[in-house]
Amino acid sequence: MEQYGVTVWFTGLSGAGKTTISSEVAKILRSQGYKVEILDGDTIRKSLTKDLGFSRADRDENIRRIGFIANLLTRNGIIVLVAAISPYRQVREEVRQTIGNFVEVYVNASIETCEKRDVKGLYKKFRAGEIKGFTGIDDPYEFPLNPEIECQTERENLEQSVEKIINKIKELQVSNSLSLGCQP
Amino acid sequence: MEQYGVTVWFTGLSGAGKTTISSEVAKILRSQGYKVEILDGDTIRKSLTKDLGFSRADRDENIRRIGFIANLLTRNGIIVLVAAISPYRQVREEVRQTIGNFVEVYVNASIETCEKRDVKGLYKKFRAGEIKGFTGIDDPYEFPLNPEIECQTERENLEQSVEKIINKIKELQVSNSLSLGCQP
């Protein structure tokens, strides 16, 4: 059976849990034989988008490039997990339209919780004045209005978040293969 | 049977025949059920690398970004056809090392022939002084020293060039599936 390509786009503040959840989803799906690719904003910024900064234009361009790759992989039947802050609605909407097979996951945690976690030490750097334009503090974050999935990582544990996403992906695999079966 | 991902990298002067040959290869392989993606330099420069010019640094960065995508697609089992002048040996070697499953195709035609063809009118623009840094005239082209395939498009016709490439790709598909079969 042909795998159904889809981009699952994780958006949310730094520290909300995008990388943690997407890594776990990838691990489980791969162990079940699915082809999965992770496009993590932090990693991509070291290679494909290393020329870009954090202005709105640069953040949008970052998302467009990630979207470009996600689209190529998706149309070739890969399950693509994008973990990127992607703070602006408009460009998220733009990549959704381009890709088509698109599931938006809002990884939702309050800025206070994210700062408390501070896995990468970025909030500390911001408070020390080493970083400016921090999403959710002095730079905007436009939360999704109609995400397919919301993971409230302050209230639910990792397994619960992961389960919702895997269920959605498998549901799409099934409905796609059914729809293919209905064609002559 | 799992498809074997490979990047087939077409390098050569503007007008040598890279786009023509790769398009035909893609058409044939797709009609046989293979998953194929074309990354054409001219197209990619309108989107993913639209910020780049034609200095050596920019040309190399263009190739690195294309290589980045080709690598993601290749490791997910896609046959990727890259058609890009890619004038510098060093960065071609770099992407070869990164990708691993890599076939270099030297699309070879003399600069005189390419200028005579001038499908895109670029040589005319150069002669009119509208373009500078033209590969093969006032900008370097470093031909491959050990390409897996050479297409001499002045001496052979499209079918002959296409056949060589398709044979090579299918040979890799077979040898890969044999090697998989040998494993426990």
Domain boundaries, chain B: 6-109+143-175
CB-closest option in B47, B73, B78 to A68: B47
Residues A13-71: tens digit of each pLDDT: 999 999 999 999 999 999 999 999 999 999 999 999 999 999 999 999 999 999 999 99
Sorting pLDDT into bands at 50, 70 and 90, what band is B181? low
Residues A80-138: tens digit of each pLDDT: 999 999 999 999 999 999 999 999 999 999 999 999 999 999 999 999 999 999 999 99
d(CA B153, CA B11): 13
CA distance to partner chain B, nearest, from residue A91 (Å): 14
Contact state of B76 with A51 under an 8 Å Cβ cutoff: no
- Helices then strands, each counted (H, E), chain A: 7, 5
Q: Which percentage of chain B shows pLDDT scores above 90?
A: 92
- The ipTM, to two decimals, is 0.89
Note whether B23 and B43 are within 8 A (CB). Answer: no
Whether A86 is a known active-site residue: answer yes
Kind plus residue range of the DSSP H or E element containing B105: strand B102-108
CA distance to partner chain B, nearest, from residue A154 (Å): 33
d(CA B114, CA B110): 6
d(CA A49, CA B61): 11
- Up-side HSE of residue A34: CA atoms within 13 Å toward CB? 24
Look up residue B181 and give its two tokens: 């079969």
User: Which of A48, A99, A180 has the alpha carbon at shortest distance from B49?
Assistant: A48
Q: What is the mean pLDDT of residues B58-62?
A: 97
What's this model's pTM, rounded to 2 decimal places?
0.92
Question: Apex CA A166: angle with CA B3 and CA A156, to 5°?
Answer: 150
Return residues 57-76 of B near A (CB < 8 Å). 61, 64-65, 68-69, 72-73, 76
Instruction: Domain B6-109+143-175: give its CATH code.
Output: 3.40.50.300
For residue A101, CA distances in Å to A70, A77, A80, A136 come to 10, 10, 10, 28
Sorting pLDDT into bands at 50, 70 and 90, what band is B28? very high
Tell the CATH topology of A6-109+142-176. Answer: Rossmann fold (3.40.50)
